[in-house]
Structure 1
């Protein structure tokens, strides 16, 4: 049973099936666009329930750049639960005969294999921890893994072809060296709102395709080595302080566009910053001064940093009016105190 809300504006055709096998659900999703979906166990609240149906919802979340919100649409899916049939107890000979008859009646492909043989390529069966598949404990849609708000205290084993992983609102306290190292296709890690205090120095360094690393609202005191592929790094609401960011930590991140370091007890602006940077958020720190060459090149007055249009220094004790020369190369004056 597949029902789609009348008021939805999803312009995507899709086919979804859910088959209940014992205590595990095998789910397949076919889509013609690279959109993200999230399967949420639950029941529809606006219609009567059928006792022989297993319900869950599909949350549609269009891909979008950061800070852009979209309305969510829900698609309700139900599948008939297995029906228990009372059957007489068979002798071993009768079981053998019945099995042979079933095999003979099963259609075969040209190569002689059964169409009900190996699972189709669209179905992922990832590595399991403690006998429970991560994708059954959490939820997997194509190469995206959703493990939000599952009270996890460590990063679970993930499918090797994972590209996006969401581990928000858990109780993870440490990121180990091998938690992500085997995920060569990983593009996004979101660990928002955990209790991370320690990250292994090489936990992210070898992830050559990692584009977004989101670690806000944790207790991180030391920034580890970062992959040069990053374009978005969010470390807001942590405890980096004066020594948490190594010297020239961002120098080689040539593709970095967004750097968020809000509320980290910082007393300085970490430099040098790559020319690719478009937004630098440093609100609610303890930055008291800025040098004239923090953003600009005082030896070359023709130098212009045109990409860096969004600098936030509000909530710091620094008086921006004391260093007007520091903003000459910028397209806009930073947001902050001017008196």
Structure 2
């Protein structure tokens, strides 16, 4: 019965609302703003949530809240104290005055260095000591320019070293049986160890080779004295060397080739002053193991015959050789004789016409190099 009463009452209320002129005005509007009406929660029908009781006197022309008039929210948040202190310090640093400071001499430049005047405050910037003026005397901590003083004498380009009495292996370089004394400005052959097998003394100032320089050097196999100032060699300076095989004395001022042992395999006396009388008669005849003979750029006027059959290379270019005999290289009595070893003969730069003595080359594997006209 109670439910029926509520239903009837609700129908009457709905009919009254529909008949109300306010509802008809509201229905004629095309759109409305949800902010222009208000719901009375006290008059809300809790039994039927779809039915609302509107407050008397509320019209659409009188909005309760005007959205455009709302004040913006206040976003002034509190600032931490640390940020304020940092900002204050930055402002103080920007206000520091700038003062010019001179760069000390020798620091890489000249001029002024601009920066904050903080040298009076301890611990901010290190202080730079004043550079003493030139001529005021040395001051501890001063910077030197590295240039010699005007009153100081120039040092010699090369220090003067007293090499007299110095042990050879301290003065030179000793590696096994090899002794290297190159470019030491030596004026004589130093005393060598008894077990020396190879001796190099190139680019020095040696002027003479004495008989005693290589005495009792029974193991010595090679001597290289290239580019010295040798003018004379004792004729028996190398005869006491039973194992000597190579002698290089090029680029000196030698006029006489000394006697050499029969064990020689290489002789290089190029670029000297050896003339016609500078070679011993049949100097190379008994050297049965001689392979290379170089006497270029001298003053000899003949081929030093006889030459051993072992010879492979003969260089005599730029001398004064004007003639050659038919038996210089070959044996005219034995036409079956052939010198297969002698493949390199250089006679270019001599005033000789090789075509005039064709019989001198019939036993050779190759024709000598030189002028054929």
TM-score range, shorter chain: 0.5 to 0.7
Distance 1:306 1:181 in 2: 38
| 1:239 pairs with one of 273, 280, 284 | 273
Matched, 1:220 2:254: yes
Which has the bigger relative contact order, CA under 8 A and spacing at least 6? Answer: 1
Provide the residue aligned with 1:329 in structure 2.
363
Shift of 1:244: 0.1
Equivalent residue for 1:270, pick from 297, 304, 307: 304
Distance in 1 of aligned mates of 2:239 and 2:340: 29
Q: Which secondary structure state, in structure 2, belongs to the residue aligned with residue 269 of structure 1?
A: coil
Once the two structures are TM-superposed, the CA of residue 131 in structure 1 deviates from its matched residue by 3.9
Residues 102-149 of structure 1 show CA distances to partners (whole Å, capped at 9, x for unaligned) of xxxxxxxxxxxxxxxxxxxxxxxxxxx844211111111111000001
Q: Structure 2 CA distance, aligned partners of 1:293 and 1:326?
A: 6
Distance 1:223 1:230 in 2: 14
DSSP 3-state at the match of 2:243: coil
Q: Distance in 1 between matches of 2:198 and 2:165?
A: 23
Which structure's residues are more often strand, by fraction? 1
Structure 1 residue 323: deviation in Å? 0.5
- What RMSD, in angstroms, separates the aligned Cα atoms of the two structures? 0.9
> What is the CA–CA distance in structure 2 between the aligned matches of 1:277 and 1:132, rounded to whole Å?
41
Equivalent residue in structure 1 for 2:289, among 241, 252, 255: 255
Distance in structure 2 (CA, Å) of the matches to 1:182 and 1:264? 31
Output the TM-score relative to the length of structure 1: 0.61
Q: How many residues align?
A: 211
Secondary structure class of the residue paired with 1:280: strand
Whole-Å separation in 2 of the counterparts to 1:181 and 1:338: 47
SS of the equivalent of 1:307 reads coil
The 3-state SS of whatever aligns with 2:189 is: coil
Q: Secondary structure at the match of 2:271?
A: coil
Segments ≥4 residues shifted beyond 4 Å: none
Richer in helix (by share): 2
Q: Please give the alpha-carbon distance, in whole angstroms, between the structure 2 residues aligned to 1:280 and 1:222.
A: 19
Q: Which runs of 5+ in 2 are unaligned?
A: 1-162
Alignment of 1:33-112 (within 5 A): none
Q: Distance in 2 between matches of 1:298 and 1:195?
A: 43
Q: Contact (CA 8 Å) 2:227, 2:252: kept in 1 or not?
A: yes
Q: Give ranges in structure 1 of 5+ residues lacking alignment.
A: 1-128
Correspondence for 1:150 among 181, 184, 188: 184
SS at match of 2:214: coil
Trace 1:179-194 onto structure 2 (pairs within 5 A): 179-194=213-228
Residue 321 of structure 2 aligns to a residue whose secondary structure is coil
Partner of 1:302: 336
Q: Is the partner of 1:321 in helix, strand or coil?
A: helix
Report the Cα distance in structure 1 between the residues aligned to 2:268 and 2:342, rounded to whole angstroms.
Answer: 17
| Partners of 1:288 and 1:301 in 2: CA distance | 26
**Cα separation, 2, equivalents of 1:334 and 1:137:** 45
Structure 1 position 190, deviation (Å): 0.2
Matched ranges for 1:271-286 at <5 A: 271-286=305-320
| Superposed CA offset, 1:28-71 (max 9, x none) | xxxxxxxxxxxxxxxxxxxxxxxxxxxxxxxxxxxxxxxxxxxx
CA offsets 1:187-243 (integer angstroms, 9 cap, x no match): 100000011111111100121101110010011111111011110000001111110
Do the aligned partners of 2:203 and 2:228 also contact (CA within 8 Å) in 1? yes
1:238 match: secondary structure: coil
The DSSP-based 3-state class of the residue aligned with 2:355 is helix
For each residue in 1:287-318, what CA deviation from the matched residue of structure 2 results, as whole angstroms up to 9, or x when unmatched?
11100000000011111111000000000110
Q: Distance in 2 between matches of 1:263 and 1:130?
A: 35
Partners of 2:238 and 2:257 in 1: how far apart?
11
